[in-house]
Structure 1
Amino acid sequence: MGAKGRETLLDAKPILKVLALLLVVLAAFMIPPIVLLGLESDPDLWAFLKSLALVATVSVGLLVWTWRTPVELKTRDMFVLTTLSWVSISAFASLPLILGAPQLSFTDAVFESVSAITTTGSTVLTKIELLSDGLKLWRGLMQWLGGIGIIVMAIAILPFLKVGGMRLFQTESSDWSDKVLPRAGGIAKASTVIYLGFTLAAILCYRLAGMGTLDAIVHAMSSVSTGGFANYDASFGIYRDRPVILWLGCLFMLAGALPFVLYIRLVRDSRGALWQDQQVRGLVMVLAIVIGVLTLYRMLAFGEVPFAALTAVAFNVISVVTTTGYSSEDYSLWGPLAVTTFFFITFIGGCSGSTSGGMKIFRFQIGGLMLLNQLRYLVHPSGVFAQRYNGRPLNDEVVRAVIAFSFFFFLTFAVLALALAAMGLDMVTAITGAATALANVGPGLGETIGPAGNFLSLPAAAKWLLCVGMLMGRLEILTVLLLLMPFFWRK
């Protein structure tokens, strides 16, 4: 092997060592389903034991090989690691779905696991209520693991890589860390504690509201992670006659969609931290407007009583905007205004530093500020107008990153939609499938992949393409796109 080959091999070792540690975490997450299946003497126990053995073997092998390698990652290594970590975890997480009772094909199993780890919530499974308790728990655990991974990535990795305008929040995190915690790692640990606290609170609330124990655990994990996997084909429609459960779902979905760093500040030194944040106010304003308009629309169009209309609209709108993907009913039957509205709010997403996907509310706000300033320039060409966000000046680096991200987001969306259409999917399925994958929302619109359908009937090639879309959406587009550029790999 030449010197160049040896250098490349050595450069890969730190990345492989981190991947091995992440696989150890994945193996640990397989233990709760194993214990549950063992107690129930369920045949799926063997599927999880085999999966655990394989993951453990690979991770131990990599750790032994890279044991003496220091973990010193350069910026280029971080881009590779970020993408490889989500791909590898999704691949190994699919094993119980292949070896277990569903016996999914490799394509379907990977689709399900990618959807779970990216907290998208799209599914190829039917008769979910008949799955073993261990597999139901595993689906929730995958989303919970993906949710905390998203928070850590948004706080500690993406701002460092200057991806999609996230640099703006590195500045904030740095300032807050001086007051709250000494390092970004400390903020990530505190966020994990808060994430766990929200999950435990959700489990307790769901249980007290009438859910069974397993349902409460799984739905708590998929609510706080804004993942959207449910234990029933009807999603939260199984609880339509229990409004308290739907409102609890709204509460915990919204909690997962807010910046977790703000929760730290809220607890430690600032009671008004949440409402003072421009992202949070923007998200609440969008939700209030959309929920208000659609509630009035349902009351006028269907003669529905106010509370019932408000409950249904609030739950489904919050689910889509936060990119959770639950549904309490088939909102594609609500009429043209509702369907069109749900399509557009698919792109919004929650706040930066949360578990939500989508474009994130801050990018729309910054776009609005840029538009307003441009209009001012038309009237006052020689004027100087400062652009500020959350009380901080917007530098050119952040503005360029937001513009680049937005452009490539919609370009990727167009390419995905056209590719899906070329595979024979109808226009609604192709367009909303691309949107829901890239925004990590879950269900699309239409009879096939709408709230009342799933992704099982799609061609295998379409499922692989959607997997790519889900990963790109979760990793903020540019992180993956950069790996496809030849100049990235040049010394």
Structure 2
Amino acid sequence: MIAPLSRLPLILLLAGIASLAMFVPALHALMHSEHTVSRSFAYSGALGLIVIGLVALAMGGNARREASDLDNLLSLFLAFAALPLFLALPFYEGLRNTTFLNAYFEMVSSFTTTGATLFEMPGRLVDSLHLWRGMVGWLGGLLMWVAASAVLAPLNLGGFELTATAEPGQVDDAQGRFQRAGSGRRVAQVTYVLAPLYVGLTGALWLFLAIAGDRPLVALVHAMSTLATSGISPIGGVQNAGSGVGGEMVIFFFMLFALSRLTFSSDTVTSQRPGLHNDPEFRLGMVIVLGVPLLLFSRHWIGAFEGQDVEDLPTALGALWGALFSTASFLSTTGFESAYWDEARSWSGVGAPGLILLGTALIGGGVATTAGGVKLLRVYALYLNGQREMERLVHPSSVGRAGARSRRMRRQGAFVAWIFFMLFAMSLALITVILAALGMTFEQSIILAIAALSTTGPLTQIAGEVPIALSLMAPTAKLVICAAMVLGRLETLAIIALVSPSLWRD
């Protein structure tokens, strides 16, 4: 059963999984007497399974070579760009008071784990549609977990171009045998290992949030959004949840899975990396998560001293927690806002607190996680290069790459990281200019571009002085943001690999 499925194109398998997933909101809507919504999901799922079954049957009789890694990369691109057309069909038919473009935008945003929504009023959608948005984002997060090891790592993309294992002769035997396995078999093996872990972590967080006081649906969507770093919420954010600070604390610890892949798997690294405590991504991420709130907290205390409010300890602790949670949330590109973020902003007196969130979202989380952004490993590679250049100023004849951490980076790691950073900056500038030409203000354009490229949709509601009304944008601007979200999810280097003729030659 598994062997024939592994020979099918990856995009076909993903469409089949999406069709099966549609029956979950269909059953949920049926239980809540939302018959129109239930029929839209059930009919779309059944139609999808029939069409996919016919296509698979037609392909089964022909001798077909096994899909290559580049074929899977193309399927990954089609999954984020074209599959939302199918995912939007039941959403559009169930809602019935929006355009199909809006439904497509919503599904692209969910599947790329961006989480930007055109429906700022949560009450406009019934619970089953909120469940579908959360499920689509959750499945997109699982796809990135699997694709990182099964598709991007063998091609040295997605951050793996920086590691020493990307150099010839630097990979151990076990990893080499794994990469030489067939692409279909590799996808099946990685899914078999990671899917139960992904489901188990989501179920555990769901249980904790439900115990803390959230409604079952709210707890489930927030749990799926945390693991997928999509920031999708059926109630407008965790600050409106019944779980309160206890729920935020639980979510905070689960967001740490987005700082490094070593927090949940070691399938993309070799034995050269001894553990999480020595992982540069996790260490750098914790420095940012703890350092930024402490810097803001220092400003809080100075402001409190000037205002003769030094003894207001509960407010100070609330402001510290609001800064800590929000920093971790936007660094992991989840985008949840703490209930105490307003206190943190007023306590610090920072004129433009949204810039802090924009900066942390641009840095992003770990390589091969569901987080977006530039990624911590690339920032670490640039830091090592700067440190090395300063050492050469003192000791011009010194030998580099002497430490174990430095040897994990390839010899041209900083150069590759700088190339990606420049491509990211050029993409950011291009999208900003296009959005400005389409009638958006400069502030709105830069926030939308960063939110799309870093897959942190809630920035559109938090980073600016006033929230951006995405539903009022022109259709062309919505399509531009959709393209930017796909680009931010797959990254520029992967897109270049798809259009490079030399990489497709046998």
Do the structures match in fold with TM over 0.5? yes
- Residues 204-353 of structure 1: pairs in structure 2 closer than 5 A: 204-233=207-236, 235-239=237-241, 242-259=244-261, 262-263=264-265, 273-298=275-300, 300-301=302-303, 305-328=315-338, 334=346, 335-353=350-368
SS of equivalent residue, structure 1 residue 100: helix
- SS of the aligned residue for 1:160 comes to coil
Answer yes or no: is 1:463 the counterpart of 2:478.
Answer: yes
Residue from 99, 111, 130 that aligns with 1:105: 99
CA distance in 1 between partners of 2:335 and 2:455 (Å): 8
Structure 2 CA distance, aligned partners of 1:126 and 1:339? Answer: 19
8 Å contact kept, 2:159–2:367: no
C-alpha distance after superposition, 1:44-91 (max 9, x if no partner): 112112321332233223212322343522354243222112223222
C-alpha separation between the residues in 1 aligned to 2:153 and 2:402?
20
Task: Report matched runs for 1:162-201 at 5 Å.
Answer: 162-168=156-162, 171=165, 186-201=189-204
1:126 corresponds in structure 2 to 120
Match in the other structure for 2:59: 66
Q: In 2, distance between residues paired with 1:446 and 1:460? A: 19
Residue type of the alignment partner of 2:245: P
Find the aligned partners of 1:26 and 1:385 in 2 and give their Cα distance: 49
C-alpha offsets along residues 13-65 of structure 1, whole Å, 9 cap, x if unaligned?
x9973321111111111111111112222121121123213322332232123
- 2:420 pairs with 1:418: no
1:48 aligns with 2:41: yes
The one-letter code matched in structure 1 to 2:26 is I
- 1:22 to 2:14 alignment: yes
Pair 241,354 (structure 1): closer, same or farther in 2 beyond 3 Å: closer
Residue 87 of structure 2 corresponds to 93
> Hey, what does 1:481 align to over in structure 2?
496
TM-score in terms of structure 2 length: 0.84
Taking only aligned residues, the RMSD between alpha carbons, in angstroms, comes to: 3.4
- Inter-partner Cα distance in structure 2 for 1:448 and 1:315: 16
Compared CA separation, residues 111 and 213, structure 1 to 2 (3 A): same
- AA at the equivalent of 1:288: L
- TM-fit CA distance, 1:380: 4.2
Aligned to 1:428: 443
Q: How far apart are 1:458 and its partner, in Å? A: 1.7
Which has the higher mean CA deviation after the structures are superposed, 219-228 or 377-386? 377-386
Partner of 2:151: 157
Q: Which runs of 5+ in 2 are unaligned?
A: 1-5
Q: 5+ unaligned residues in a row in structure 1: which ranges? A: 1-13
Shift of 1:378: 4.0
Answer with 352-361 or 378-387: which moved more.
Answer: 378-387
Q: CA deviation at 1:156?
A: 1.9
The residue aligned with 1:144 is 138
Shift of 1:154: 1.5
- What is residue 4 of structure 1 aligned with on the other side? none
The question of 1:358 aligning with 2:361 is answered: no
Counterpart CA distance in 1 for 2:126 and 2:71 is 40
What is the aligned-residue identity percentage? 26
Q: How many residues align?
A: 474
Q: 1:278-333 CA deviation, whole Å, 9 max, x = no partner?
A: 11111001110112122343455476622211222122211111000122357696
User: 1:453, CA displacement in angstroms?
Assistant: 4.8
For residues 167-206 of structure 1, the C-alpha deviation after alignment (integer angstroms, 9 at most, x for no partner) is 4569399759669x99865455322222111101101100
Shift of 1:482: 3.9
Is the CA contact (8 Å cut-off) linking 2:229 and 2:370 kept in structure 1?
yes
For the residues of structure 2 that align with 1:430 and 1:228, how far apart are their CA atoms? 21
**TM-score when scaled to structure 1?**
0.86
CA contact (8 A) 1:17 1:62 kept: no
- Is the alpha carbon distance of 1:177 and 1:307 closer, same or farther for their aligned partners in structure 2, counting shifts above 3 Å? farther
